[in-house]
Amino acid sequence: MAKALIAGVDEAGRGCVIGPLVVAGVMTKVENLHILTELGVKDSKMLTPKQRELLFPAIIQLTEKYHTIKIMPCQIDRVVESCRRLHKLNRLEAQTMAQVIEILKPDQVYVDAADTIEHRFGNHIRECLKIKTRIVSRHKADRIFPIVSAASIIAKVERDREIALIKEQFGDFGSGYLTDDKTMGFLRQLLENNDDYPNFVRKSWKPAKRAKNEKNTMQKTLA
């Protein structure tokens, strides 16, 4: 009798103003789940970059299959700016998680719920699926279920590599999160010699818009 295949799906970079949102899914046999705990797998935010990089190949070796999808800033901007209530970021994330699940084809999948209502997020994923699988949608699933922790590590490492490439070309911009003064200073610097942001910036994010509006207001004042 075939052993059950269990998957976890999580994302990295949802709240950043810079770079892609990365959704990752990993799948393993149910009898291998305890090995993830033994490896020290936990929520990626509780690990250092070095620890995540060390765990990355160990997780991949343990999986039956894994898959990542990068949602680029332009895609995020389209849904954030959309007037259609059902086409916002939560829905985009649910649709992307469904794509990952379609590729993995697990018997059961655990997902980190982006919606304030856990089961609603699971239902949004289910609506997009063409395969049948049991979905467990929970808040902080990356802290509760090791299989989701593993997915969070894969997503975070993949995103960190994308961010490293941007920093290599454009310099250090801090964390990329909205509360980081260094990130905001970087956004203003980008606009000094350009009318708009490069493609790696989420232009629909309020702080990015605010920085651009400040520049436009200053230009009108000086004109």
Q: What is the pLDDT along the chain (223 residues), one digit of tens a residue?
A: 456 999 999 999 998 999 999 999 999 999 999 999 999 999 999 999 999 999 999 999 999 999 999 999 999 999 988 766 555 889 999 999 999 999 999 999 999 999 999 999 999 999 999 999 999 999 999 999 999 999 999 999 999 999 999 999 999 999 888 788 999 899 989 988 788 899 999 999 888 888 887 766 665 565 5
For residue 45, give the nearest of 159, 121, 144, 149 by alpha carbon: 149
For residue 170, give the nearest of 181, 180, 182 by alpha carbon: 182
Q: Hey, what are 198's tokens?
A: 């490069």
pLDDT of residue 49: 93
* Cα–Cα distance measured from residue 178 to residue 186, given in angstroms and rounded to the nearest whole number: 12
Residue with tokens 């400040």: 214
* Cα–Cα distance measured from residue 34 to residue 207, given in angstroms and rounded to the nearest whole number: 42
172-222 has which fold? Arc Repressor Mutant, subunit A (1.10.10)
The helices-and-strands tally (H runs, E runs) of the chain is 9, 5
Q: Domain 5-167 carries which CATH code?
A: 3.30.420.10
CA atoms within 13 A on the CB side of 100: 31
* Cα–Cα distance measured from residue 110 to residue 181, given in angstroms and rounded to the nearest whole number: 35
- Residue 135, classed as helix, strand or coil, is strand
Q: Domain-by-domain residue ranges, the chain?
A: 5-167, 172-222
* Cβ–Cβ < 8 Å for 197, 203: yes
* Cβ–Cβ < 8 Å for 23, 94: no
**Side chain identity at residue 133, one-letter code:** T
Dihedrals φ, ψ of 65, to 5°?
Answer: -165, 150
